[in-house]
Structure 1
Amino acid sequence: MDKFDAMRVFLRVVESGTFTKASETLNLQKATVTRLVKRLEDDLATKLLNRTTRRVTVTPDGSAYYDRAVRLLADLEELENSMTGARSNPKGRLRINLPRPLAHSVVAPALPDFLARYPDIDLEIGASDTPVDLFADNVDCAIRIGTVTDQSLVARRIGLSHFELCASPDYWKKHGKPQHPSEIDLHHTVIHMISARTARPFPIIASRDGETVDIHGRKTILCNDVSTCTDLARTGLGIISGGTFMTAPLIASGELESCLALWQLPPMPVSIVYPPNRHISNKVRVFADWVIELFARHPSQQSS
C-alpha cells in the first residue's frame, strides 16, 4: 500500500462525508476507497472513522490524524512542486477564507482571471464575517479587515476598506438627512456591526476640519453579520457605516443613499494573512500577489 495515497483517500472521505462521494471525486471504485481506508486503519492499529449506512463520522483519533495528514501532504506537495518546476505553475488545493462583503463584491467576480492564470489550482473558499483559526481549520490564507492582532500569522497589507454613512431612500424621506453627525444621536436609528472578537459594536467616528464626533444613534440595532446589517438598512430600518466595497453598488442602483459626504470615517486596513511557514507555499504566494494586484486596481482603492 502507498501510504500517501491512502492518506489522500482518507482526507477526501472526511471532507466529502461519504465513501461514495469520495470515490466519485477521486475517480476510484468505492471498494478501492473502502479498502485503502481500512488498510490505513489496520496499519495504524486505530479506528479513524465511524461508518453508518448514510454517512461516516470522524473518531477523535481520526480527527487528530486528519489535521496532521493535511499538513504533511501539503508539505509533501510543496516539496514535489519545488522539484518539478511548479514555482511557475503551482498546483493543488488552496483553502482560503474571506469576509463576505469582499468575497461577494471584489474577489469572487475576479476569480475567473486567477484560475485562468493558474488552472491547476483547486480552490476551496470559505466566506464568513467571523475570523477562522487558520491552524485548526487547515486554511492556507485568509483576508482580514482591520488590524491583525494575531502575532502567530504573517500579514501583508493589500488595501484599505473605506466607510460611509448611508440608509435607504425611504428612511431619508421619513426622517430627513442629518446636516451634522451630532444630529444622528438625537433623531436617528443606527445599525451597528458587532465585533466577533470583542462582542461589542464597532465604533463609528466622523471627522472634519479637526472636529471629531462619536456616533451612537438615538436608537440602535445590533447585528453580527455585515450582509444582514446592509439588508436591514436597505429595508429602511436605520443608518449603517458601510464599507464601500458593499455600499457602492447599492448606492449606484438607488437602494441606498449616503449622507454627510464631507465627513470622514476612518478606513480600516485590509490584509492577507497566512501561517509563518519557513517556505511559503507557491499557491499562497501567487494568490497573495494576485489579490494585491486586484485591490490595487479596484475603484474603491483609488482614493487611498
Structure 2
Amino acid sequence: MDMHNRMDHLLALRTFVRIAEAGNFTRAADQLGLPRSTVSKIIQDLEEHLGTRLIHRTTRRITVTPEGAQYHERALRLLAELEDMDAEARRTRAMPKGRLRVDVGSSIANLILIPALPGFQAAYPDIELRLGVSDRPADMVGEGIDCVIRGGELAETSLIARKLCELDFITCAHRDYIARHGLPAHPRELAQDHRLLGYFSSLSGRTIPLRFERDGERIEIGADGGTAVNESTAHVTALLAGLGVAQSFRFALQRHLDSGELVQVLPEWSQPAHPLYVMYPPNRNLNAKARVFVDWAVKVFAEVDTRRI
C-alpha cells in the first residue's frame, strides 16, 4: 500500500481506530465491511509506514501500545474534524450562501440573465449576487470574479469552459434607413452602397466584420468607415437610430423585427452561430455558489439555444 495515497491513508486511520475500539480484527473487519485479511494487511502496512508498532496481537485479543494510544487519540481528532468538514460541505452544497461575483456581457445580461434572476434568487436566497455587466474582458483574479459568461471562439485559456448555448446572428437595419438606401441584393453591395454600423472589440480595438454564408460560400465585409460601438446594448440602440446595417443577436432584435421597426437584410444569407460559454478558474471548480449558478445558467440559456429552437 502506498501510504502517500491520501485515500489509502485515510482508510488506514479509520481501520486502526475501529480495531482499537473493537478489540479484535474480526469485529473491526465486520464493522468496516472488509475481509479480515485486508484489515490485517492495512494495519501491517500502516505500522511499516510509521516505523512503530501500534498494537500487540494475541490469539484472543489485541491491545494498543503506548505509541498506538497516542496515535489513536490524534486519529480520532483528525477524523472528527474531517466529518465536521464534510458535514459543512454538504450543508453548503444544499444551501450555498455568501457573495458570488459573475461577469456577463450587456445585452445577454439585460435580455436573458436578469429577467430570469428572480428564479435564482428564490432558489438561493442566501447568495449575494454581484453582477458585473460589461462587454469588456474581465480580470477575474484582480476583480475577484467567480465566473464569466462570454461568447465567441475560445482563446487559449486556463479557464474551465462550459458551453451554454449557440446564439443566432442576423443582419438588419432600421426601416427609415431602408427607405432611404434600399435593400441590398448581395453582401458585396454593403461595402459599396451602404453605411455599416460596426462593433469593435474593447480588447483589441478591431472592428468585427460582417459575415455571410450561403451554399458553401463565405463572405466577410469589413465594417470600418462608419460608426462603431463596443457595447452590445448600445449597438442595438445605434441600429434603432438608423445609423446603418448591422449584425447582432437575433434575441436582442426580435421584438423590433416583429414590430417592423427593424427590417432583416439579406435573409437568404446566414451568419455563423455564436457560441456562449460560462468560464471559471480551475481552483474554483468546487465553489458551491458558482456550481449552483452554472447549473442554473445552463437551464436558462437552453431556452435561447438555436440548436434546440
Assess same fold via TM > 0.5.
yes
Runs of 4+ in 1 over 6 A off after TM superposition: none
Partner of 1:87: 93
Partner of 1:187: 193
Partner of 1:204: 210
> Does residue 128 of structure 2 align to residue 122 of structure 1?
yes
Partner of 1:251: 257
Return the match for 2:178 from 152, 172, 179.
Answer: 172
C-alpha separation between the residues in 2 aligned to 1:128 and 1:253? 28
Partner of 2:12: none
> Does residue 301 of structure 2 align to residue 276 of structure 1?
no
- The 1:266–1:83 alpha-carbon spacing in structure 2 relative to 1, beyond 3 Å, is closer
Give the aligned length. Answer: 225
> Does residue 114 of structure 2 align to residue 108 of structure 1?
yes
For residue 200 of structure 1, what is the amino acid of its counterpart? R
- The 1:112–1:276 alpha-carbon spacing in structure 2 relative to 1, beyond 3 Å, is same
Partner of 1:13: none
1:215 Cα offset (Å): 1.6
Structure 1: give runs of 5+ residues left out of the alignment: 1-78
- The 1:217–1:101 alpha-carbon spacing in structure 2 relative to 1, beyond 3 Å, is closer
1:179 Cα offset (Å): 1.6
> Does residue 234 of structure 2 align to residue 267 of structure 1?
no
Give the conservation status (yes or no) of the 8 Å contact 2:165–2:304: no
Identity, % of aligned positions: 35
- The 1:82–1:218 alpha-carbon spacing in structure 2 relative to 1, beyond 3 Å, is closer
Deviations 1:76-122 (A, max 9, x none): xxx79844512111111111111001000100000001111111111
Give the conservation status (yes or no) of the 8 Å contact 1:184–1:216: no
C-alpha separation between the residues in 1 aligned to 2:218 and 2:296? 37
For residue 264 of structure 2, what is the amino acid of its counterpart? S
C-alpha separation between the residues in 2 aligned to 1:104 and 1:111? 11
1:218 Cα offset (Å): 9.0
Give the conservation status (yes or no) of the 8 Å contact 1:181–1:215: yes
Structure 2: give runs of 5+ residues left out of the alignment: 1-84
C-alpha separation between the residues in 2 aligned to 1:260 and 1:248? 16
- SS in structure 2 of the partner of residue 110 of structure 1: helix
- SS in structure 1 of the partner of residue 144 of structure 2: coil
Partner of 1:32: none
- The 1:116–1:217 alpha-carbon spacing in structure 2 relative to 1, beyond 3 Å, is closer
C-alpha separation between the residues in 1 aligned to 2:264 and 2:163? 27
- The 1:149–1:82 alpha-carbon spacing in structure 2 relative to 1, beyond 3 Å, is farther
C-alpha separation between the residues in 1 aligned to 2:86 and 2:238? 50
- SS in structure 2 of the partner of residue 109 of structure 1: helix
C-alpha separation between the residues in 2 aligned to 1:157 and 1:82? 30
1:246 Cα offset (Å): 1.2
- SS in structure 2 of the partner of residue 189 of structure 1: coil
C-alpha separation between the residues in 2 aligned to 1:147 and 1:185? 25
Return the match for 1:159 from 162, 165, 170.
Answer: 165
Deviations 1:136-159 (A, max 9, x none): 100111100112325221111101
Deviations 1:170-211 (A, max 9, x none): 011111111211111121011111112321111221010122
TM (norm. structure 2) is 0.68
Greater shift after overlay, 293-302 or 171-180? 293-302
Give the conservation status (yes or no) of the 8 Å contact 1:186–1:218: no
- The 1:118–1:81 alpha-carbon spacing in structure 2 relative to 1, beyond 3 Å, is farther
- The 1:104–1:294 alpha-carbon spacing in structure 2 relative to 1, beyond 3 Å, is same
Partner of 2:155: 149
Give the conservation status (yes or no) of the 8 Å contact 1:144–1:270: yes
For residue 249 of structure 2, what is the amino acid of its counterpart? G
- SS in structure 2 of the partner of residue 287 of structure 1: helix
